[in-house]
Structures are given as C-alpha cells and as structure tokens.
Structure 1
Amino acid sequence: MKPFYILYIFLLLSIASCTDVIEVDVPEAPPRLTIEASLDWERGTTGTNQTILLSTSTPYFAEQKIAPVLGASVRVTNTDTGAEFVFEDQSNGQYTTSSFIPVLGDTYLLEVIYNNERYTATETLVPVSNIVDVFQSTENGDDEDALEVNVTFEDPAGVENYYFLRFQSDADLFPELYYIKDEFIDGNEFTIYYEKLADEDDGNAEFQSGDTVDIALYGISEQYHDYLRLLVDQYEFAGNPFSPTPVPLVGNCVNMDDPENIAYGYFRVTETIKTQYTFE
C-alpha cells in the first residue's frame, strides 16, 4: 500500500503547486455626489421638519459603504413665493430644517453647493388622493391560502395623477414599492394588494396573524414616476439573465458648473398619507 500513499501525496502536492493567486483590477468610477432629498409632507402634520442626506459614491469593495458629505451648502426655495429654507449641516451627512412650509401646487428649487460646484433640481408639490379602505384578504394573490393586505384609494376624475405606494413589513429589511399612473383608473377607486409568498431559499414567510405592515401613499410628479419605474424594474429583474444590463440611474439633480460630473439621487416634494395595518 506504500506506493499508493506516495502517489496520493504527490498528487496533493501537484495540485497545491498549481494554485496561483489571481488579482483582478476592478475599474473604479470617480466618487460622485449622491443627493437623497425627499421632502415628504405627511397629511395632518405641519411638514416643517425635513432632512436631506448627502454622501458620495464609494467603490464596490470599499469597507466604508457610505461616505457622508460635510460642509456643503443646502437650501430649498419656493419659486412661487420666494421663501427660502436653509438646511443646516449636522456634521454627519444630514442637513435639516425645522421651518419648511409645504404648499400644494407650488414649485420648489433645490440648490446644493459642494466642492465649488452648484447642483440644482426642481419639483412641484403634488397632492395625494384619499385612502378609502385598508383590509386583508386571500383572494387576489398567487396563493389562495396566503394573507394579503389591500389598499383602496380614490383617484380624482379629469386630472392626470401619479402615485407611489410603499409597503414595509415589520419582518422585512426592504420595502415593497409600486409606481402607479391613473391612465386606466381615472376617476375611480383602485385597489392594490401586497402578498408575501413563502420562500425557503430567501427566508421569506407568508403573512401571519399579528404581522404589521406600514403603508404610505404618495402623490408624485410624472418625472419622478418615470424615475421610480426604472429604479423598481432594475431592482426586481436583478440577476435575471434575460434582463437589460443595469445602468446608473441619473435623477433630476443637475450640475450647473460641470454637466459631465453628474449627481446620483433625486429631489422630490410630495404629500403623503401613512397608515398601518395589523393582520387579524
């Protein structure tokens, strides 16, 4: 048997000697400013407290995934009234104000000055429709035994509307997002359901009695609707071999001094209705 062991050891040494460390140079894009400016006015509140987040993009394999931006100048102006709202630097990438005044139908201009470059974006504060009902069922989803939460809202007639609906389960890390255009529901009540299917590979479980879901309905602009459509589609089809190649999404924030040095993120101004549902 000794020759067998000698041959076995020889084979192991041969395999080990053929193992080389291959270092692959991963191309890195220059860091870009990322603007997360969601000025959401929840109906029934003053909407005065608002926060804008600034960071820079980082390489994929970087240890620090979020690089907060400090020392920027951030302000929002109501172009209809001329009112200005300065967002104060909190030294952690957050810029806040406690004096914002939301006015439905008015247009707002965001201005961010960073590294001596000026970024701007405009959005109009769009009203949101009323939520008529929130209820549970097992009738609409793919699994007739699985619980689902339903949200019914009323679309006003004769007005072109766009909506953003967000479900956040207390058991899930990421929310479920829907973008809606009223092209085929104008002037009618419309119901959207959210169902979770059990998936052992992903660790997902169906809704159970006692589970809670946070729900938010936003009135949004057509421009933001189109941005969301691209964002959600890229997220949902990630990993699908037949899906288009993902590309960096460019929002509405424009670099006025160097258009080639684009910014990521989006500036939105919305009215929102928020509620919560607990399964029985």
Structure 2
Amino acid sequence: MNTYFKLIVLFLTMTLVSCEDVIDVDVQEGPTRLVIEASLDWEKGTTGNNQIIKLSESTPYFDTTTNTHVTNASVKVTNDDNGQEFIFTHQGNGEYVVTDFEPIINQSYTLEVIHEGETYSANETLTSVVDIDDIYQSTEDGFDDEELEVNIIFTDPEAEENYYLFKFQRQGDLLPILEDGDDEFSNGKEIPWWFEKEEDEDTDEIEAFRPGDIVDISFFGISEAYSNYIGILIEQSEGTGLFSTTPVPLRGNCINTTTPDNYAFGYFRLTQVVKTSYTFQ
C-alpha cells in the first residue's frame, strides 16, 4: 500500500512540475527622451550664483544602464527683462554649472537646451519663500501619539496666493520625503506643519524618529504650475492605491520647439529656499 501511495505522489509531483511553463512578456518600450533636471534654488543668506543643471537620457524600465549622462548639449538661462544670458558649462558628467547666476525675486527666466540639433525651452518665474518662525518636536500632531514628529511654524503672506514644498531627509536615509501645500485655507495666517516618519509598507517596520536623529529640512516657495506638477509626481511616487488614477508619463514645462512630439522629461523651476536641520532630543 505504501508503495502504491508513493507512486501516486510521485506521479502528481511530476505532473505539477511539467505544467510549469516559462512565460516571456514583451514590455513595450517608449522612445529615449532627454531628462532635464533644472532646479535653480536660491538659498536664503547666499548669493545664489552657483547653480547646476543635470542632463541625462531616459532608459527602458528593466535596463541596467547607469551611464546615461548627456555630454554634448548647449545650456543657457536668460533673464527675460534685460536679456542677460547665463551660460552653463559642462563638467564631463552630465552636470552643467554656472557661477555667476543672478537670482531676482519675481523675475522671469527662460531655459534653453540644445541637444542633437533640437531645442528645448522652458519659462519660469523665481518664487520667494517666507522664513521659518519656529521649529520644535512633539508627539501631538502626528498619526501616532507615541512617536516623535518635527513641527514647523511659518507665517503666510496675505497679499498673494502661495505654494510651498517641503523636503525632509533624516541623515542616514537614502531618499528624502517631499510634501507640498498651499495657502488656500490659511491665507495670511500662521501655518503649522508637522512631519512624522511613517510605517514602511514593504517591510512593515516603523522607522520612527528617535532621540539623536537629525533631519535636514528644505522649505521652498514654488509657483502654481510647479505645484501642480510636483503634486502629481508625489502622488505617483507613493504608488497606486484603490482609488488612485493610473500613473501616466508626467510632462514638465520643457518644450521641444523643434520637434514637439519629442518632448523632454523634467522641469525648469526657480525657487527661493530656507534650509535648516533639527536634532531630536
């Protein structure tokens, strides 16, 4: 009887194994596109003269190519009022730098990138940001009343609509966390903002702040157009939930004026930024 039972088990095992087929799925690949990382950020308390623009090329999803730097482009930014041009010099690694940029609040600038005979253009206005009034820690405002969060207080200007971007990065973490907001319901008022480390859905681990942790904080004033762009980007980076829309290629403001269908990825932004750090006690 045991022999008969073993033969049945062996037969079923061989049948199941033989039913395993390797399925090759062809993943549709889009065209290679220019990627423009043009964030000209003027930190308060500095001249803002030193700026970097990074150029690369997009790759297929499963491609392991790491060197996608664009090294043969022409890059310049122009002050739209007086025509002053700032020529960005290539450094050999896809980075184009300038050391004489002159940031002016509420001034409009135009970016021009020429790559492989095609011209890409974008326009943006340098947006100011208010100072941070206070920064402290608590356990009162976050989702978990037992975990530490950093609290930031700033006062919104009453005269205009304002849009904000926060970048939080605990020292030692690989990636920062971005959060965006506006003054639609708090125009001209003191605005409290808090940030708490959330549970990692992939590992089910809570990487909460602990005493001694240092978090670097960047507080940007951004334009409405960039706010719309970064809001969608943040939503897509958090994954597709039950009620989320299907992620689609996100276009920035860099237009190919030579061949419009061959648009670039990325965004040309000009912002003023306040940078600070907080050490948890």
Q: TM-score, normalised by structure 1?
A: 0.94
* Count, aligned residues: 279
CA distance in 1, matches of 2:198, 2:36: 34
Q: Residues 139-188 of structure 1: CA distance to partner in whole angstroms, max 9, x if unpaired?
A: 11121111110111111222222111111112433322222212222222
Distance change in 2, residues 1:144/1:83 (3 Å): same
How big is the shift at 1:207? Answer: 0.9
User: What's the secondary structure of 2:140's corresponding residue?
Assistant: coil
* Kept in 2: contact 1:163–1:220 (CA 8 A): yes
User: What's the secondary structure of 2:147's corresponding residue?
Assistant: coil
Q: Residues 177-230 of structure 1: CA distance to partner in whole angstroms, max 9, x if unpaired?
A: 222212222222111000124558343321111111111111111111111111
Q: Does the alignment pair 1:101 with 2:102?
A: yes
Alignment of structure 1 residues 1-280 onto 2, 5 Å: 1-64=2-65, 67-199=68-200, 201-236=203-238, 238-280=239-281
* Kept in 2: contact 1:164–1:219 (CA 8 A): yes
User: What's the secondary structure of 2:161's corresponding residue?
Assistant: coil
How big is the shift at 1:82? Answer: 1.4
CA distance in 2, matches of 1:38, 1:20: 48
Q: TM-score, normalised by structure 2?
A: 0.94
How big is the alpha-carbon RMSD for the aligned residues of Structure 1 and Structure 2?
1.7
* Kept in 1: contact 2:240–2:247 (CA 8 A): no
* Kept in 2: contact 1:56–1:66 (CA 8 A): no
* Kept in 2: contact 1:146–1:197 (CA 8 A): no
* Kept in 1: contact 2:86–2:98 (CA 8 A): yes
CA distance in 1, matches of 2:154, 2:274: 11
CA distance in 1, matches of 2:268, 2:5: 71
Q: Which residue identity is paired with 2:207?
A: A
How big is the shift at 1:65? Answer: 5.0
User: What's the secondary structure of 2:184's corresponding residue?
Assistant: helix
* Kept in 2: contact 1:58–1:65 (CA 8 A): no
User: What's the secondary structure of 1:209's corresponding residue?
Assistant: coil
* Kept in 2: contact 1:36–1:266 (CA 8 A): yes
* Kept in 2: contact 1:42–1:272 (CA 8 A): yes
User: What's the secondary structure of 1:183's corresponding residue?
Assistant: coil
Distance change in 2, residues 1:208/1:67 (3 Å): same
CA distance in 2, matches of 1:244, 1:157: 34
Q: Which residue identity is paired with 2:213?
A: D
Distance change in 2, residues 1:50/1:268 (3 Å): same
Q: Which residue identity is paired with 2:208?
A: E
Stretches of structure 2 lacking an aligned partner (at least 5 in a row): none
How big is the shift at 1:12? Answer: 3.1
CA distance in 2, matches of 1:163, 1:127: 10
* Kept in 1: contact 2:240–2:246 (CA 8 A): no
Q: Which residue identity is paired with 1:85?
A: F
How big is the shift at 1:261? Answer: 0.9
Q: Which residue identity is paired with 2:48?
A: G
Q: Which residue identity is paired with 2:176?
A: P
Distance change in 2, residues 1:198/1:20 (3 Å): closer
How big is the shift at 1:66? Answer: 5.7
